A and B are shown apart, each in its own frame.
Chain A
Amino acid sequence: MFTSKRMVIAMAATALLAACAAPTLAPAPTKSPNLGRLATAQEIAAADISIPPDGSGLPAGGGDVRQGAAVYAGKCVSCHGEKGVGKPADALAGGIGSLATATPLRTVGSYWPYATTLFDYVRRAMPIQSPKSLTNDEIYAVTAYLLNLNGIVAENAVMNAQSLPQVKMPNRDGFIDYSRR
């Protein structure tokens, strides 16, 4: 009896020690003051600039390779080099077939899995000194130019909300999804 009482105390002490060694986090609050204001369709449309692979949200307009070459010469070449060879900024063309070699060259053409990402990224972040300054037509055009530089679309290709999501990038199947591991 005496022993078992001591054991209980010892066990309680052990439990207490264990609790001290690994403190449990305070539970997160679950009650909201509900201060969110209902967003209007108009403000959502203005804010929503992300373009997923299915192309939903792509704006109206379009542009072709020739127009894109002019946009590239005016806005991009100083950082990305003639024909997208890179320096000082990232190379945008070349490297297709190099990924499994000792000298992989990862560019829009060789590495990026979706063409929609190119439109999305140029529109939100480029050119780096004046992001969000290009028109939708200019972005479609420069996208067409870069895809053509990589031999992914033809010289007469026109990029728009319909054609861009149809483009199959060479490395589309080159990624292994680790999000569930």
Chain B
Amino acid sequence: MTDHHDPVSDAVSAVATADAARERRNFLKRGAAGLAAAAAAATTARAADPIGGDFPEWSTKIGTPLRGYGQPSRFEAPVQRYVQKAFGDLAPGTGGARAPIERLEGVITPNGLHFDRSHNGAPDIDPAKHQLLIHGLVKKPLSFSIADLLRYPMVSRMHFIECSGNSGLNLAPQPPQLPAGVMHGLVSCADWTGIPLALLLDEAGVEPAGKWLLAEGADSAAMSRSIPLGKCYDDAIVALYQNGERLRPEQGYPVRLLLPGWEGNMNVKWLRRLKVTAGPTHTKDETSRYTDPQPDGRARQFTFEMGAKSVILRPSSTMSMQGAGLYEISGIAWSGGGRIARVEISTDSGATWKDAVLQGQAMPKSLVRFRLPWEWNGQATALQSRATDEKGNTQPSRAAFRAEFAPDIRFHNNSIVSWAVNADGSVKNVYL
């Protein structure tokens, strides 16, 4: 693939280089007898000269000094999130920075590349001045400092977070020709560590009338959402750490809510307040925003769980193939319903399907990496992937998803993604 940062093209180049080296070795063997004397002379000559001339510059001088916090290679600088400001410089913190998923491997999203959807920028919170308040229908309203929270027993869990607006771009009338991350990069996965929310709620003592929880952030938007208490007692985490280090500001430093498998907007960042209530508060984001309108004019509200989903990342839209031959199809799958049970891949525009290999152990509500070797014959075709979770939830076709909702549906699009591979090697986004 022509993008020189693209791992597939790098792999292809590496194979070509290895072939050339093997050819050179064979040539040397064939000429070995005649060249024996010359080789002996060369060996003698080398003993007198320093070897540095045969090495690249970085092998002959002191490298970067030891430093407190490591950074990616400067050659990886182009690997950036795709920043989309909904209202430009009018509100520079409003919008999304999408993860460049097509340039990443494995399942863990590096902290600096984890997608960020914020409603008015990331606040610069001094943890010494931040409190988490739990109140409402509780026996004892409690306030926790961050220092207090850091002393609590914790759990560590691998979970994805996906904005329910992810893949909304693929609902446009014409398929956008954009990198996969621009369209599907509002998903990321990390090893989150924090306190089971149930532990804090039990300490406050929830009254029998308490059925919902209002969670609110300390950002300028004071983002707030209502959550049924059942989820709070099931697997909700008050998270303090992300991939081993304290949360990044863009991910809610010093403390955020994590509701595994539920739409990203509910995983309230910069968590400042939890109010136990009898019913939902009907906040702006759970009425005007993250609701799913039907064709009949009514809209589904409180559609929390993210559907089973997958996307092939290599190859994907805007990449190009380097001729016929063996390629590895690689991508990510996830489901808010639990573990991914299988990912099927079609390399013939949906006519037949093969099971991809799932890498490692599929954790519940986590990304899983899938792979499948593919011998491309150089002819035009389309690639598709279809994930199914342990409960049997799977992905609808794009057409079926479109038909179920109003024309302006923007959320929860988990329909099958299709990439056309053309005979000229170009890879395009298509609707099948």
Q: Which residues of A, 135-174, contact B by the 8 Å Cβ criterion?
A: 174
Cβ of B57 under 8 Å from chain A: no
Q: Is the CB of B282 within 8 A of A113?
A: yes
Q: Is the CB of A50 within 8 A of B283?
A: yes
Q: A35-B151, A88-B90 are in contact. Are A120 and B284 (CB under 8 A)?
A: yes
Q: Is the CB of B134 within 8 A of A175?
A: no
Cβ of A176 under 8 Å from chain B: yes
Q: Taking CB as reference atom, which chain A residue is nearest B218?
A: A47
Q: Is the CB of B287 within 8 A of A113?
A: yes
Task: Give the distance in Å from the alpha carbon of A109 to the alpha carbon of B202 in the complex.
Answer: 40
List chain A residues, Cβ under 8 A from B304. 178-179
Q: A26-B155, A31-B153 are in contact. Are A114 and B282 (CB under 8 A)?
A: yes
Q: Is the CB of B299 within 8 A of A36?
A: no
Cβ of B339 under 8 Å from chain A: yes
Stretch in contact with the other chain, from B104-112, B192-200, B347-355: B192-200
Task: Give the distance in Å from the alpha carbon of A41 to the alpha carbon of B415 in the complex.
Answer: 49
Cβ of A49 under 8 Å from chain B: yes
Cβ of B373 under 8 Å from chain A: no
Q: Which residues of A, 1-45, contact B by the 8 Å Cβ criterion?
A: 21-23, 25-26, 28-39, 43-44
Cβ of A70 under 8 Å from chain B: no
| Shortest CB distance B284–A (Å) | 4
Cβ of A79 under 8 Å from chain B: yes
| Shortest CB distance A167–B (Å) | 13
Cβ of A61 under 8 Å from chain B: no
Cβ of B301 under 8 Å from chain A: yes
Q: Is the CB of A35 within 8 A of B152?
A: yes
Q: Is the CB of A174 within 8 A of B299?
A: yes
| Shortest CB distance A149–B (Å) | 16
List chain B residues, Cβ under 8 A from A121. 283-284
Cβ of B272 under 8 Å from chain A: yes
Cβ of A89 under 8 Å from chain B: yes
Task: Give the distance in Å from the alpha carbon of A12 to the alpha carbon of B87 in the complex.
Answer: 61
List chain B residues, Cβ under 8 A from A23. 361, 363
Cβ of A104 under 8 Å from chain B: yes
What is the 8 Å Cβ interface bit string for chain B, positions 397-424, against chain A (1 contact, 0 not)? 0000000001110000000000000000
Cβ of B296 under 8 Å from chain A: yes
Q: Which residues of B, 118-147, contact A by the 8 Å Cβ criterion?
A: 119-120, 133-135, 140-145
Task: Give the distance in Å from the alpha carbon of A39 to the alpha carbon of B138 in the complex.
Answer: 12
Q: Is the CB of A36 within 8 A of B203?
A: yes
| Shortest CB distance A86–B (Å) | 11
Count B-side interface residues using an 8 Å CB cutoff. 69
List chain B residues, Cβ under 8 A from A31. 153
Count A-side interface residues using an 8 Å CB cutoff. 56
Q: Is the CB of B301 within 8 A of A104?
A: no
| Shortest CB distance B281–A (Å) | 5
Q: A28-B198, A37-B142, A106-B408 are in contact. Are A175 and B298 (CB under 8 A)?
A: yes
**Residue from B119, B154, B157, B221 with most neighbouring chain A CB atoms (10 Å):** B221
| Shortest CB distance B210–A (Å) | 13
Choose one: B216, B284, B297, B298; the contact of A117 (CB below 8 Å).
B284
Task: Give the distance in Å from the alpha carbon of A35 to the alpha carbon of B406 in the complex.
Answer: 49
| Shortest CB distance B29–A (Å) | 47
Choose one: B135, B282, B284; the contact of A53 (CB below 8 Å).
B282
List chain B residues, Cβ under 8 A from A38. 140-143
Q: Which residues of B, 245-262, contact A by the 8 Å Cβ criterion?
A: none
Q: Which residues of B, 273-299, contact A by the 8 Å Cβ criterion?
A: 273, 275, 277, 279-284, 287-288, 291, 293-299
Task: Give the distance in Å from the alpha carbon of A42 to the alpha carbon of B154 in the complex.
Answer: 31
Task: Give the distance in Å from the alpha carbon of A112 to the alpha carbon of B288 in the complex.
Answer: 6
| Shortest CB distance A173–B (Å) | 8
| Shortest CB distance A101–B (Å) | 8
- Beyond the given pairs A22-B339, A104-B293, 7 more chain A to chain B contacts, judged by CB atoms under 8 angstroms and listed by A's residue number, are A35-B144, A37-B148, A52-B282, A102-B407, A174-B299, A176-B294, A179-B304
- Could you list some 18 contacts between A and B, CB below 8 A? A22-B339, A28-B155, A32-B203, A34-B203, A35-B152, A36-B144, A36-B200, A37-B145, A79-B87, A88-B87, A88-B88, A103-B407, A104-B293, A111-B299, A121-B284, A128-B94, A131-B120, A179-B302
Binding site for A on B (CB under 8 A): 87-88, 90-91, 94, 119-120, 133-135, 140-145, 148, 151-155, 157, 196, 198-200, 202-204, 214, 216, 220-222, 224, 228, 272-273, 275, 277, 279-284, 287-288, 291, 293-304, 339, 361, 363-364, 406-408
